[in-house]
Chains A and B, each alone.
Chain A
Amino acid sequence: MNVVIGGTGIGVSTTTEFEEILRLQYAGFIEADSAQSIQLTVELTPPLTLDPDADIQVRGEGSRWTMERGDFHASYDSATRVGKVWQSASRQSLDSVIRIIHSLTLAEETGFLLHAASAIRGDRAFLFSGKSGAGKTTISSLAPPDVHLLTDEVSYVRNVSGRWTAFGTPFAGELARPGENRSARVEALYLLRHGSENRTELLSAASAARSILRNVLFFADDANLTRRVFDTICAFVEAVPVLELSFLPDAGVWELIH
């Protein structure tokens, strides 16, 4: 089974039963004929612990990475792009490993994963970033029919030939459904804030970079890759307008998004 997100394929080898579960999880992102740039073998084990909310630990030595949380253990070699996961038959556990691997891959490819909803309107993508409770699910659920939702939880952004591009992801939040497998050039990023009216305010690049860096998903304890993520975000805010979006929970907020 080949799960392709942002043009990067992860070939997952596991039991037939677990693969059936994963086919539902990643519906719309499975491409049988696409090149598998990453190979991941999932070995199912009894549950490791009962604490899937424990902190994720990602440590690297050269190209070899180990990833651990209460519910999984994984190894991954970013040079050979081969990895192995030990976990129970939990789609959430594998989803976390796949997010980590994408965050490592993107860090080396001028891209990033962001706590953000994202959507395409017209031919441009818009990102809506914020921590839990900021309104990612709310603004996603208020989207009018002409909007294609890329995700309500974790956005995938990469610089493609000099253009910042957002891709759909299957990483779902409270809407509990995968985004559409589409991509478009990023027009703007909005930092969400609940307010008493719908309005936007353009942020300075420094303020924008600080806010975005706090919402980037990056787990690795690696100074060089962290520096690359920092440089990527700085380049992003120099090219893409970042605005604070205060909004009421009504569909009128989408009149500001164009």
Chain B
Amino acid sequence: MSEIYPKRAANMAARVFRGEAIIMNPADSTLFNLNETATAIWLAADGRTALRSIVERDILPAFHVDREDALRDAGQFAEDLARHAILTLRTEPEAE
């Protein structure tokens, strides 16, 4: 499985309330609410850290979920957010 490097879109309006993010695309006012695990992934999506590393570093220790389930769910979540332009997905890490 090739690595995916997610990155938060810079043009979104967002706020995190008690670990849960609410995100709005100001271009069309579309709203998204993220649960705690999704928010953790979204916050860590810097374009330089692989999705697999985010899951292993931030999700598994904090949420005590099965590794394979977490990786699969994270992949689906990242693709969903990418479809809404909230994340961009790359196969190479962004240069520092």
Contact stretch, chosen from A20-28, A35-43, A175-183, A204-212: A204-212
Count contacts between A and B, CB distance < 8 Å: 45
Report B-chain residues with C-beta under 8 Å of the C-beta of A205.
17-18
Contact among A206, A218, A223, A224 for B22, CB-based, below 8 A: A206
In this complex, the interface size class of chain A, counting residues with CB under 8 Å from chain B, is: 10 to 19
Contact among A213, A223, A238 for B31, CB-based, below 8 A: A213
In the assembled complex, B15 has its CB within 8 A of some CB on chain A: yes
Q: Name the prevailing secondary structure of the B interface residues.
A: strand
Q: What is the distance, in angstroms, from B36's C-beta to the closest C-beta of chain A?
A: 10
Contact among B11, B20, B26, B29 for A206, CB-based, below 8 A: B20
- Whether the Cβ atoms of B26 and A234 lie closer than 8 Å is no
Report A-chain residues with C-beta under 8 Å of the C-beta of B22.
206, 209-210, 234
**10 tightest Cβ-Cβ pairs between the two chains A and B:** A205-B17, A223-B26, A230-B13, A226-B26, A234-B15, A206-B17, A227-B13, A206-B20, A227-B26, A230-B24
Taking beta carbons and an 8 Å cutoff, which residues of B are in contact with A? 11, 13, 15, 17-18, 20-22, 24, 26-27, 29, 31, 33
Taking beta carbons and an 8 Å cutoff, which residues of A are in contact with B? 204-207, 209-210, 213-214, 218, 223-224, 226-227, 230-231, 234, 237-238
17 A-B Cβ contacts within 8 A? A204-B18, A204-B20, A205-B17, A206-B17, A206-B18, A206-B20, A206-B22, A206-B33, A209-B22, A210-B22, A210-B33, A218-B29, A223-B27, A224-B26, A227-B26, A230-B13, A231-B15
